[in-house]
Amino acid sequence: MENSKYEHWNQPQPYEEDNKRIAAGLLAIILGPFGIHKFLLGYTKTGIFWLFLSLISFGAITGLLGLIEGIIYLTKSDDEFFRTYQLHEKHWF
């Protein structure tokens, strides 16, 4: 007879994704000129550049770009967003 003892420690565990798609998308749409969504995703240098660009353009350019990025974030699937923006760290669009 086979050994049917279940060993939990030896079973592969599914990888828990810390997906920030909804939060990043909403922050990009609502607070786009401030670049909060860049900081949420861990893109500190890009976020600082975003703030600088916002100060120069009075938020016009970054507000529009934030709206576009927010829509792109929200239309991607969870898996595609995780791979593109969290694993491969694509900073722009």
Residues 52-76 pLDDT 10s = 999 999 988 999 999 999 999 899 9
pLDDT at 88 over 80: no
What residue numbers bound the domain in which 72 lies?
A: 19-87
51, with CB counted inside 10 A (0-12, 13-18, 19+), is middle
Give the pLDDT confidence score for residue 83 in this predicted structure. Answer: 82
Amino acid at residue number 10: N
Domain tally for the chain?
Answer: 1
The candidate with the shortest Cα–Cα distance to 81, out of 46, 40, 44, 48, is 40
In a domain, 3, yes or no: no
Q: What is the pLDDT of residues 21-36, one digit of tens each?
A: 888 899 999 988 988 9
In a domain, 9, yes or no: no
Amino acid at residue number 43: Y
pLDDT-based confidence at residue 17 (cuts at 50, 70, 90)? low
pLDDT at 37 over 70: yes
Residue that wins the pLDDT comparison between 67 and 92: 67
